[in-house]
A and B are shown apart, each in its own frame.
Chain A
Amino acid sequence: MSKQINIALIGNPNTGKTSVFNALTGLNQKVGNYPGITVEKKEGICKLPRGVKAHIIDLPGTYSLNASSLDENVVIELLLNKNDKDFPDVAVVVSDVENLKRNLLLFTQIKDLEIPTILVINMADRMKYKGISLDIEHLEQELKTKIAVISTRKNEGIDNLKLLISNYRDLSTTPCLNASEIDTDYFDKLRQAFPSQLLYKLWLVITQDVNFGKMDRNEVEALASFKTKSKSDLKRLQQKETIKRYQFINNTLKKGQTIDASQAKDLRTKFDRILTHKVWGYLIFFLILLLIFQAIYDWSTIPMDFIDGVFASLSDWVKNTLPEGAFTNLLAEGIISGLGGIVIFIPQIAFLFLFIAILEETGYMSRVVFLMDRVMRRFGLSGKSIVPLISGTACAIPAIMATRNIESWKERLITILVTPFTTCSARLPVYLIIIALVIPEGRFLGLSYQALTLMLLYLLGFGAAVISAYILNKVLKIKSKTFFVVEMPNYKLPLFKNVAITVLEKTKSFVFGAGKIILAISIILWFLASYGPGDAFNDAENIVKTEYASQNLNEEELNQKIASQKLEHSFIGIAGHAIEPVIRPLGYDWKIGIAIVSSFAAREVFVGTLATIYSVGNDDEDTIKNRMAGEVNPILGGPLFNFASGISLLLFYAFAMQCMSTLAVVKKETNTWKWPTLQLVIMTAIAYISALIAYQFLK
């Protein structure tokens, strides 16, 4: 067996660290979670020269080893724990040639931990535009490291980086400066108290607010024969440390880096002048949002209709080809219909993730944060809340995790609480099918009524989020220090490979994650719909035959009557009837009731559930939409899905908290069941009341 080495990729945000990761591993990567927390863990395998295999971890981006968030904490915890199975043999610090000065701060900290370290200077293709030239030899000497100058955009220098990694044993582990000089007295005492420990490691443990597993801060304090300093003293020392590091970096770069400003072409200023303009900036942002919605609605209908058709004929084919029996029915009516309900919205999810990835990759998202901060603050949110609120249109789960970089706890909590109001992609299939059923075709100013309705629903979700944020801001009595620092990265053309991998990964994990729940629920539903207690179900054939004996029905009509008698008296029919009194005022029948109940696990189950319910005992090859259009209101007559009940359903789904995974994530992020419970109760109440009002007025 050849030896496998561990590599940790570390770097500031916006340095192209993930591009380096993608360049090294290709598609040989997997995304998981760190145990117990919801921080994304990206790992991959890379083949190095001489048959060495490397296991690479792409650590969350961080500006320094002083953690201020859960994501950054992951970095320190790994680097401080030699026993971790992922503890790196080599640390690869990725930096951006234009921000070398700032990027080197983190580099010098990692060197202090005496881990073999390689410095990657990325985006070398920008050097020419910015008039930057580097004296690599000098830098390598001063920084006591090996440097790989690469360009992931042009795919240059990757092989050299691989070679450097494979020669990791030659790397120096000497720190490049002596940080303990900031307070020699204090650090001497620290050294005496813990002679066996690395000094800088001790310093990190003392200064961090986070817990460090085996090496707990309290332990250091309890054992210490010296007095730890007060918090403000520590912070003053941290500032001194930072100044010292920058002095070293400035001196190093004075000789190692020359910038000829006259060569620099400044695209940033030109773009910023328009994109952060007080009028054009907002207008462009609005137009981009409009484009996204039109794309999701218009462009994805073609693949969606195709998928819908394929699943309908697949189900039909299974029924006609396989021998008749319970298994065939389960496959055709339960599993295939249920799966169709999830596969159908792959195109839209992919589109959403595509747009969000592009906005992030180009650096535009930071401009939106900048533009929106003042406005959002009025509602108790931060400019940074805009990122969760926009990515909430894909899925609330990653969106809630994206709130971690909001510095103020109150702003962050409010963002977490209101994000589920934004229209996530799981609501889309529900919206799409209902809109197609109840909103007439036709165009207004070139936009279809249906697309406009969808846009309105998105605005409604966003409005609900903002208004409830405003109320929460008034109601919640939380004092928390607020500050706001956001990096404004350079504008970049998005790298196709990065965007493609993001879209692929996110879509895949979403489909498989939701797919499992939907498949399970579809199978359960099929059983509940196919079996029932007592004579009304088991003797359905005879009951129907007796009842309609005088009416001379043909066989087909008779079969349909039998099927609906069976469904009505199946387990699910009984459950549906039981809740009917509660939902009838909203304009729903017991079948929709079942779909609503089952979609408390996940909204997207709605369409799948209706598909399963309507296909049980229905032999026709037909799409879900046509089956729903054919449903008749049992009391009032006329189509069940009319304008009033349609709007009522849309409102219900717009507001209701119907996603167990989101509740679980909120619990994890807030560390209590209090907030998810509150979300569930209040959002569902708003949903019920608004649906009730809408139906009663419109019917």
Chain B
Amino acid sequence: MDNTLDTLKRGERAIIIDVSSHLIPLKLLEMGCLPGNSVELVQVAPFSDPLYLNINGSHLAIRKETAIHIIIEKQV
């Protein structure tokens, strides 16, 4: 089953499968958050929000409420 980005644990990697584009800011897409790209959870802030990610080589932080709209497939 596919997971959403917020289920990723620290240090885990995944591939982005789909993004609900109407719920995701365009800016995030432009920073590389697109289907097919890799994503790694670098760090989690206290209270497990926001998430510090490495998407396709770009380092950025987003909130959990955004992350739940990004579908991923975990890599082993």
Which positions 27-59 of chain B face chain A at CB distance < 8 Å? 27-32, 34-35, 37, 42-43, 45-47, 49-50, 52, 56-59
Q: Are B66 and A483 in contact (CB under 8 A)?
A: yes
The contact sample of 22 A-B pairs, CB cut-off 8 A, is A66-B26, A68-B27, A99-B58, A102-B32, A102-B56, A236-B22, A238-B29, A239-B21, A239-B29, A242-B34, A246-B34, A278-B45, A370-B61, A374-B45, A374-B50, A482-B65, A483-B25, A483-B63, A483-B65, A485-B25, A486-B60, A488-B52
Whether A53 sits at the interface, judged by CB under 8 Å, is no
Whether A433 sits at the interface, judged by CB under 8 Å, is no
Evaluate whether A373 and B50 lie within 8 angstroms (CB atoms) in the complex, with A66-B26, A68-B25 already known: yes
Q: Are A63 and B27 in contact (CB under 8 A)?
A: yes
Bound form: Cα–Cα A487–B28 in Å = 10
Which residues of A come within 8 Å of B, CB atoms? Answer: 63-64, 66, 68, 98-99, 101-102, 105, 232, 235-236, 238-239, 242-243, 246, 268-269, 272-273, 276, 278, 366, 369-371, 373-374, 383, 407, 482-490
Q: Are A101 and B31 in contact (CB under 8 A)?
A: no
Chain A residues near B57: list those with CB within 8 A: 98-99, 101-102
Greatest chain B CB density within 10 A among A98, A232, A487 is at: A487
Partner of A276, one of B26, B43, B47, B65: B43
Q: Are B43 and A272 in contact (CB under 8 A)?
A: yes
Q: Are A242 and B29 in contact (CB under 8 A)?
A: yes
Q: Are A369 and B61 in contact (CB under 8 A)?
A: yes
Chain B residues near A483: list those with CB within 8 A: 24-25, 28, 62-63, 65-66
Q: Are A63 and B35 in contact (CB under 8 A)?
A: no
Q: Are A485 and B28 in contact (CB under 8 A)?
A: yes
Chain B residues near A269: list those with CB within 8 A: 42
Q: Are A232 and B50 in contact (CB under 8 A)?
A: no
Evaluate whether A485 and B60 lie within 8 angstroms (CB atoms) in the complex, with A66-B26, A276-B43, A371-B46 already known: yes
Q: Are A102 and B25 in contact (CB under 8 A)?
A: no
- For the residues of B in contact with A, the DSSP-based class is mixed
CB distance from A101 to the nearest CB of B (A): 6
Chain B residues near A98: list those with CB within 8 A: 57
Q: Are B32 and A486 in contact (CB under 8 A)?
A: no
Identify the closest chain B residue to A259 (Cβ): B57
> Nearest 7 pairs between A and B by C-beta?
A488-B59, A278-B46, A64-B30, A374-B47, A484-B63, A239-B21, A483-B25
CB distance from A249 to the nearest CB of B (A): 10
Evaluate whether A236 and B21 lie within 8 angstroms (CB atoms) in the complex, with A246-B34, A487-B31, A488-B60 already known: yes
Bound form: Cα–Cα A446–B52 in Å = 38
Partner of B61, one of A101, A278, A486: A486
Q: Are B30 and A66 in contact (CB under 8 A)?
A: yes
Bound form: Cα–Cα A488–B59 in Å = 5
CB distance from A70 to the nearest CB of B (A): 15
Chain B residues near A268: list those with CB within 8 A: 59
Q: Are B34 and A484 in contact (CB under 8 A)?
A: no
Partner of A272, one of B27, B34, B52: B52
Beyond the given pairs A366-B61, A373-B61, 17 more chain A to chain B contacts, judged by CB atoms under 8 angstroms and listed by A's residue number, are: A64-B30, A66-B30, A98-B57, A239-B34, A242-B26, A242-B29, A272-B43, A370-B45, A370-B50, A370-B52, A371-B46, A373-B49, A374-B46, A374-B47, A482-B63, A485-B31, A488-B42
